[in-house]
Amino acid sequence: MRLGVLDIGSNTGHLLVVDAHAGAAPLPASSYKEPLRLAEHLDPAGMLADSGTAALTAFVANALELAEDKGCEEIYAFATSAVRDATNSEAVLAHVLEHTGADLRVLPGEDEARLTFLAVRRWFGWSSGRLAVFDIGGGSLEIATGADEAPSVAQSLPLGAGRLTREHFVGRRPDPDAVRELRRRIRADLARDAGEVLRAGAPDHAVATSKTFRSLARVCGAAPSAEGQFVRRLLAAEDLEAWIPKLVDMSLDEISGLPGVSAARAHQLVAGALVASAVMDIFEVPELEICPWALREGVLLDRIDRLSVLGG
């Protein structure tokens, strides 16, 4: 059957259309995305501004039209950190429903971590043993670890690259004092609950997903996307540490000119690099392998599993 996943993230809205059935990997059929930057439309009181709501509503309407054109039988629409954290979240969701008919589900952070973990487990399989999975989004950092398909620990922390950029670097280039203060904050926030993850045991395989980690890995020398999703891509802590001072000294134009970095996300890369570095240090992970599957695939796999049970 043909399914659609409509993912409203803090940075980007993304519709992924796939052909799917139980026992097979979802086969991408179409993709449509727009850089919504919803996290940057939150005002000081935490409300999503009218401009953000309008951009979200227009994107959802266009995505639903495309999904219909592509023959989707079902569409699973969800929103993550930016909408979840907005103080006017209910009003935003009601506006989208009224103008598009889409009933967006707000996905809790722990569910983000759980479903991303499922996608990584299915991609790498049981031979990976105990997994540790890290995902830096625009609004939050998800962490999950475990030896099964469901993680034994799932955490969501407000350490997204977009959120931290907005709070610490808005309107100016990062300076050494701001970088030092953000580095201190990230590591203190991570360390506060790190024991829950560390007590679960050392991972056999440490994995990172999503755009920020993919961009950092590419900057540090990983293979380009043109070489295909089955090429092994690693991000080494040593390489990342060497790059952070360079990124701090670069202009936005210089960062956006780096391999694997889009202009829409260039301003977030320093904050994302500081989070990635802290993750690898505090959890004692010398390198992370990049997984091409993440939350959207996890949502699809979970839904396919449920349909299989109901049908069986």
pLDDT digits (tens, 9 = 90+) for 221-244: 999 999 999 999 999 999 999 999
Reported confidence tier of residue 101, pLDDT bands at 50, 70, 90: very high
What is the per-residue pLDDT across 12-28, written as a single tens digit (0 to 9) for each?
999 999 998 888 889 99
Is residue 307 one of the residues assigned to a domain? no
Q: Is the pLDDT of residue 107 over 60?
A: yes
Residue 172, pLDDT score: 67
Residue 312, pLDDT score: 46
What is the per-residue pLDDT across 166-184, written as a single tens digit (0 to 9) for each?
899 876 678 889 999 999 9
The verdict on 7 and 116 lying in the same domain is: no
The verdict on 264 and 282 lying in the same domain is: yes
The verdict on 77 and 26 lying in the same domain is: yes
Structural domain ending residue among the three candidates 73, 107, 141: 107
Residue 126, pLDDT score: 97
Amino acid letter, 253: D
Residue ranges of alpha helices (H) inside 125-208 are: 161-168, 176-198
The verdict on 100 and 201 lying in the same domain is: no
Q: Is 30 exposed, middle or buried (0-12, 13-18, 19+ CB in 10 A)?
A: middle
Q: What is the pTM of this model?
A: 0.95
Structural domain ending residue among the three candidates 107, 130, 153: 107
**196-230 CB burial, b ≥16 within 10 A, e <16:** ebeebeebebbbbbbbbbbbbbbbbebeeeeeeee
The verdict on 97 and 186 lying in the same domain is: no
Q: In which element (H, E) is residue 13 found?
A: strand 13-19
CATH code assigned at 8: 3.30.420.40
Residue 311, pLDDT score: 58
Query: What is the residue range of 126's domain?
Result: 109-295
Question: How many Cβ atoms are within 10 Å of 109's Cβ, its own excluded?
Answer: 22
Structural domain ending residue among the three candidates 91, 107, 123: 107
Contact between residue 121 and residue 149 where contact means Cβ atoms under 8 Å apart:
yes
Task: Report the pLDDT averaged over residues 236-260.
Answer: 96
What is the per-residue pLDDT across 109-121, written as a single tens digit (0 to 9) for each?
999 999 999 999 9
What is the per-residue pLDDT across 187-215, written as a single tens digit (0 to 9) for each?
999 999 999 999 988 999 999 999 999 99
Distance CA 96, CA 20 (A): 27
Is residue 312 one of the residues assigned to a domain? no
The verdict on 53 and 118 lying in the same domain is: no
Is residue 89 one of the residues assigned to a domain? yes
The verdict on 141 and 91 lying in the same domain is: no
- Mean predicted lDDT score pLDDT of the chain: 94
What is the per-residue pLDDT across 294-312, written as a single tens digit (0 to 9) for each?
999 999 999 888 877 665 4
User: How many separate domains does the chain show?
Assistant: 2
Reported confidence tier of residue 56, pLDDT bands at 50, 70, 90: very high
Q: Is the pLDDT of residue 245 over 80?
A: yes
Is residue 309 one of the residues assigned to a domain? no
Distance CA 194, CA 270 (A): 22
Task: Report the pLDDT averaged over residues 153-161.
Answer: 96
The verdict on 120 and 97 lying in the same domain is: no
Residue 310, pLDDT score: 63
The verdict on 30 and 91 lying in the same domain is: yes
